[in-house]
Protein backbone atom coordinates (compact mmCIF):
# COMPACT_ATOMS: atom_id res chain seq x y z
CA UNK A 1 0.00 0.00 0.00
CA UNK A 2 1.43 3.37 -1.10
CA UNK A 3 0.70 6.59 0.78
CA UNK A 4 1.89 10.13 -0.08
CA UNK A 5 5.21 10.06 -1.81
CA UNK A 6 5.27 7.41 -4.53
CA UNK A 7 8.62 6.06 -3.31
CA UNK A 8 7.46 5.68 0.32
CA UNK A 9 6.08 2.18 0.98
CA UNK A 10 4.47 1.14 4.30
CA UNK A 11 4.00 -2.62 4.87
CA UNK A 12 1.60 -3.96 7.49
CA UNK A 13 3.64 -5.37 10.42
CA UNK A 14 2.45 -6.50 13.85
CA UNK A 15 5.32 -8.15 15.81
CA UNK A 16 3.60 -7.41 19.15
CA UNK A 17 0.53 -9.45 18.28
CA UNK A 18 2.69 -12.34 17.11
CA UNK A 19 4.59 -12.31 20.40
CA UNK A 20 1.36 -12.24 22.39
CA UNK A 21 -0.06 -15.12 20.34
CA UNK A 22 3.10 -17.20 20.81
CA UNK A 23 3.09 -16.54 24.58
CA UNK A 24 -0.57 -17.54 24.79
CA UNK A 25 0.15 -20.80 22.98
CA UNK A 26 3.03 -21.58 25.37
CA UNK A 27 0.86 -20.85 28.44
CA UNK A 28 -1.96 -23.02 27.14
CA UNK A 29 0.53 -25.80 26.47
CA UNK A 30 1.87 -25.65 30.03
CA UNK A 31 -1.65 -25.65 31.45
CA UNK A 32 -2.48 -28.66 29.29
CA UNK A 33 0.59 -30.50 30.55
CA UNK A 34 -0.36 -29.74 34.14
CA UNK A 35 -3.89 -31.02 33.64
CA UNK A 36 -2.59 -34.16 31.94
CA UNK A 37 -0.15 -34.77 34.83
CA UNK A 38 -2.86 -34.42 37.49
CA UNK A 39 -5.19 -36.66 35.49
CA UNK A 40 -2.46 -39.27 35.16
CA UNK A 41 -1.90 -39.25 38.92
CA UNK A 42 -5.64 -39.56 39.48
CA UNK A 43 -5.84 -42.53 37.11
CA UNK A 44 -2.88 -44.13 38.91
CA UNK A 45 -4.69 -43.96 42.24
CA UNK A 46 -3.03 -40.85 43.72
CA UNK A 47 -5.30 -38.31 45.35
CA UNK A 48 -3.87 -35.23 47.05
CA UNK A 49 -6.79 -35.06 49.50
CA UNK A 50 -6.39 -38.71 50.53
CA UNK A 51 -2.61 -38.29 50.76
CA UNK A 52 -3.03 -35.26 53.03
CA UNK A 53 -5.46 -37.14 55.28
CA UNK A 54 -3.12 -40.14 55.46
CA UNK A 55 -0.19 -37.88 56.33
CA UNK A 56 -2.22 -36.29 59.14
CA UNK A 57 -3.24 -39.70 60.48
CA UNK A 58 0.34 -40.93 60.52
CA UNK A 59 1.53 -37.75 62.20
CA UNK A 60 -1.14 -38.26 64.88
CA UNK A 61 0.08 -41.84 65.39
CA UNK A 62 3.64 -40.58 65.85
CA UNK A 63 2.56 -38.02 68.46
CA UNK A 64 0.51 -40.64 70.32
CA UNK A 65 3.39 -43.14 70.36
CA UNK A 66 5.87 -40.51 71.52
CA UNK A 67 3.58 -39.49 74.40
CA UNK A 68 2.98 -43.13 75.35
CA UNK A 69 6.71 -43.87 75.29
CA UNK A 70 7.44 -40.92 77.56
CA UNK A 71 4.83 -42.16 80.05
CA UNK A 72 6.18 -45.71 79.97
CA UNK A 73 9.78 -44.57 80.38
CA UNK A 74 8.80 -42.50 83.41
CA UNK A 75 6.97 -45.52 84.90
CA UNK A 76 10.01 -47.73 84.32
CA UNK A 77 12.29 -45.26 86.09
CA UNK A 78 9.84 -45.04 88.99
CA UNK A 79 9.66 -48.85 89.38
CA UNK A 80 13.42 -49.30 89.05
CA UNK A 81 13.98 -46.68 91.74
CA UNK A 82 11.49 -48.38 94.07
CA UNK A 83 12.98 -51.81 93.37
CA UNK A 84 16.53 -50.62 94.02
CA UNK A 85 15.53 -49.46 97.51
CA UNK A 86 14.41 -52.91 98.58
CA UNK A 87 16.74 -55.40 100.18
CA UNK A 88 15.03 -58.31 98.42
CA UNK A 89 14.27 -58.29 94.70
CA UNK A 90 10.58 -57.97 94.11
CA UNK A 91 9.63 -60.41 91.35
CA UNK A 92 6.36 -58.65 90.60
CA UNK A 93 8.10 -55.31 90.05
CA UNK A 94 10.81 -56.93 87.95
CA UNK A 95 8.25 -58.63 85.74
CA UNK A 96 6.33 -55.38 85.34
CA UNK A 97 9.51 -53.55 84.34
CA UNK A 98 10.30 -56.23 81.74
CA UNK A 99 6.80 -56.01 80.29
CA UNK A 100 6.98 -52.21 80.10
CA UNK A 101 10.40 -52.34 78.47
CA UNK A 102 9.11 -54.81 75.88
CA UNK A 103 6.15 -52.53 75.18
CA UNK A 104 8.47 -49.55 74.77
CA UNK A 105 10.63 -51.56 72.35
CA UNK A 106 7.59 -52.48 70.25
CA UNK A 107 6.30 -48.94 70.20
CA UNK A 108 9.75 -47.61 69.34
CA UNK A 109 9.79 -49.89 66.29
CA UNK A 110 6.35 -48.65 65.26
CA UNK A 111 7.39 -45.05 65.86
CA UNK A 112 10.48 -45.43 63.68
CA UNK A 113 8.40 -47.00 60.94
CA UNK A 114 5.67 -44.35 60.96
CA UNK A 115 8.32 -41.62 60.98
CA UNK A 116 9.88 -43.18 57.89
CA UNK A 117 6.50 -43.35 56.19
CA UNK A 118 5.78 -39.67 56.85
CA UNK A 119 9.27 -38.54 55.87
CA UNK A 120 9.49 -40.61 52.72
CA UNK A 121 6.51 -39.27 50.77
CA UNK A 122 7.42 -41.58 47.89
CA UNK A 123 5.78 -44.46 46.02
CA UNK A 124 5.41 -47.76 47.84
CA UNK A 125 8.63 -49.69 48.40
CA UNK A 126 6.72 -52.89 49.12
CA UNK A 127 6.67 -55.44 51.91
CA UNK A 128 9.78 -56.30 53.92
CA UNK A 129 10.80 -58.13 57.08
CA UNK A 130 11.31 -55.60 59.87
CA UNK A 131 12.75 -57.54 62.80
CA UNK A 132 13.25 -61.22 63.68
CA UNK A 133 13.82 -62.44 67.24
CA UNK A 134 14.02 -65.91 68.81
CA UNK A 135 13.20 -66.61 72.45
CA UNK A 136 13.64 -69.93 74.24
CA UNK A 137 10.61 -71.74 75.59
CA UNK A 138 9.96 -74.86 77.62
CA UNK A 139 10.61 -77.75 77.27
CA UNK A 140 14.11 -77.76 75.78
CA UNK A 141 14.54 -77.24 72.03
CA UNK A 142 11.29 -75.24 71.91
CA UNK A 143 11.44 -71.66 70.62
CA UNK A 144 9.12 -68.80 69.84
CA UNK A 145 9.92 -66.84 66.68
CA UNK A 146 8.82 -63.19 66.58
CA UNK A 147 8.63 -61.64 63.11
CA UNK A 148 7.54 -58.11 62.24
CA UNK A 149 6.45 -57.11 58.73
CA UNK A 150 6.36 -53.53 57.47
CA UNK A 151 5.30 -51.56 54.42
CA UNK A 152 6.33 -47.97 53.72
CA UNK A 153 5.33 -45.32 51.25
CA UNK A 154 2.04 -45.12 49.38
CA UNK A 155 -0.02 -48.32 49.73
CA UNK A 156 -3.00 -49.63 47.84
CA UNK A 157 -4.88 -51.08 50.82
CA UNK A 158 -4.40 -54.17 52.97
CA UNK A 159 -1.85 -56.83 52.11
CA UNK A 160 -2.45 -60.49 52.89
CA UNK A 161 -0.50 -63.72 52.68
CA UNK A 162 1.44 -66.19 54.80
CA UNK A 163 4.81 -66.47 56.55
CA UNK A 164 6.74 -69.74 56.67
CA UNK A 165 9.97 -70.63 58.44
CA UNK A 166 12.88 -72.96 57.75
CA UNK A 167 15.98 -73.81 59.80
CA UNK A 168 19.20 -75.40 58.57
CA UNK A 169 22.02 -76.75 60.67
CA UNK A 170 23.58 -80.03 61.72
CA UNK A 171 21.88 -83.13 63.03
CA UNK A 172 23.13 -85.00 66.10
CA UNK A 173 25.63 -86.95 63.99
CA UNK A 174 27.02 -83.83 62.30
CA UNK A 175 25.14 -84.35 59.05
CA UNK A 176 23.68 -81.20 57.43
CA UNK A 177 19.93 -81.02 57.92
CA UNK A 178 17.25 -78.56 56.76
CA UNK A 179 13.88 -78.33 58.49
CA UNK A 180 10.85 -76.81 56.76
CA UNK A 181 7.78 -75.29 58.41
CA UNK A 182 5.97 -78.62 58.73
CA UNK A 183 8.95 -80.24 60.46
CA UNK A 184 9.38 -77.23 62.77
CA UNK A 185 5.73 -77.03 63.84
CA UNK A 186 4.39 -80.58 64.30
CA UNK A 187 0.69 -80.58 65.10
CA UNK A 188 0.36 -76.85 64.29
CA UNK A 189 -0.27 -74.87 61.09
CA UNK A 190 2.91 -74.77 59.03
CA UNK A 191 2.37 -71.13 58.02
CA UNK A 192 1.21 -67.99 59.80
CA UNK A 193 -1.24 -65.70 57.96
CA UNK A 194 -0.74 -61.93 57.85
CA UNK A 195 -3.26 -59.20 57.06
CA UNK A 196 -2.24 -55.56 57.58
CA UNK A 197 -1.74 -52.17 55.96
CA UNK A 198 1.52 -50.82 57.41
CA UNK A 199 2.84 -52.98 60.29
CA UNK A 200 2.17 -56.36 61.93
CA UNK A 201 3.93 -58.64 64.42
CA UNK A 202 3.64 -62.42 64.12
CA UNK A 203 4.64 -65.26 66.48
CA UNK A 204 5.34 -68.87 65.54
CA UNK A 205 6.34 -71.71 67.87
CA UNK A 206 9.01 -74.06 66.54
CA UNK A 207 10.45 -77.31 67.87
CA UNK A 208 13.96 -78.54 67.01
CA UNK A 209 14.96 -82.22 67.04
CA UNK A 210 17.04 -83.41 69.97
CA UNK A 211 20.74 -82.82 69.37
CA UNK A 212 20.13 -80.55 66.39
CA UNK A 213 22.46 -77.55 66.12
CA UNK A 214 20.72 -74.68 64.28
CA UNK A 215 22.80 -72.34 62.12
CA UNK A 216 20.41 -70.26 60.02
CA UNK A 217 16.76 -69.22 60.16
CA UNK A 218 14.98 -68.47 56.87
CA UNK A 219 11.80 -66.41 56.74
CA UNK A 220 9.67 -66.61 53.60
CA UNK A 221 6.83 -64.12 53.10
CA UNK A 222 4.33 -65.18 50.43
CA UNK A 223 1.68 -62.79 49.13
CA UNK A 224 -1.86 -63.89 48.34
CA UNK A 225 -1.44 -62.11 45.00
CA UNK A 226 -0.27 -64.40 42.23
CA UNK A 227 1.80 -61.67 40.57
CA UNK A 228 3.95 -60.97 43.67
CA UNK A 229 7.03 -63.14 44.13
CA UNK A 230 7.77 -64.50 47.64
CA UNK A 231 10.21 -62.55 49.80
CA UNK A 232 12.92 -64.71 51.39
CA UNK A 233 15.47 -63.58 53.99
CA UNK A 234 17.99 -65.69 55.90
CA UNK A 235 19.41 -64.79 59.33
CA UNK A 236 22.23 -66.36 61.37
CA UNK A 237 20.68 -68.21 64.28
CA UNK A 238 23.11 -66.67 66.78
CA UNK A 239 22.21 -63.14 65.60
CA UNK A 240 18.47 -63.39 66.25
CA UNK A 241 18.28 -65.64 69.32
CA UNK A 242 17.59 -63.82 72.59
CA UNK A 243 19.79 -65.12 75.45
Q: Dump pLDDT digits (tens) for 70-104.
A: 888 788 777 777 666 554 556 666 677 777 777 77
pLDDT at position 46 is 47
* pLDDT, tens only, 115-151: 655 555 444 446 788 889 988 888 888 999 999 888 7
pLDDT at position 215 is 93
CA dist 241 and 134 (Å) reads 4
**The domain 122-243: what is its CATH number?**
2.60.40.150
pLDDT at position 177 is 94
pTM (2 decimals)? 0.51
**114 pLDDT exceeds 50?**
yes
Q: Give the residue, 93 or 226, on which the prediction is more confident.
A: 226
Mean pLDDT for 48-52 is 64
Residues 133, 242 contacting (CB under 8 angstroms): yes
Spatial neighbors of 154 by CB under 8 A, at least 6 apart, are 46, 51, 122, 123, 124
**188 pLDDT exceeds 80?**
yes
Q: Hey, is 225 helix, strand or coil?
A: coil
Q: Give the residue, 225 or 1, on which the prediction is more confident.
A: 225
Q: What percent of the chain has pLDDT over 90?
A: 22
Mean pLDDT for 172-193 is 89
pLDDT at position 180 is 93
Q: Give the residue, 44 or 175, on which the prediction is more confident.
A: 175
CA dist 217 and 219 (Å) reads 7
Residues 167, 178 contacting (CB under 8 angstroms): yes
CA dist 103 and 76 (Å) reads 11
Mean pLDDT for 5-20 is 54
Spatial neighbors of 173 by CB under 8 A, at least 6 apart, are none
Amino acid sequence: MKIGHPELVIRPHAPLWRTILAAAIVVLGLVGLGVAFEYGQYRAGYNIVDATKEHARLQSSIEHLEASNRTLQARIIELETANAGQAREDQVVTRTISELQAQVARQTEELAFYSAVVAEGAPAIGLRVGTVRLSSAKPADHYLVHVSLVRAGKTDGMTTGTVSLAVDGQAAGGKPLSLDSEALSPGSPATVPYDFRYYQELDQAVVLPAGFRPEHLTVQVSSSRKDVAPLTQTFPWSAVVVP
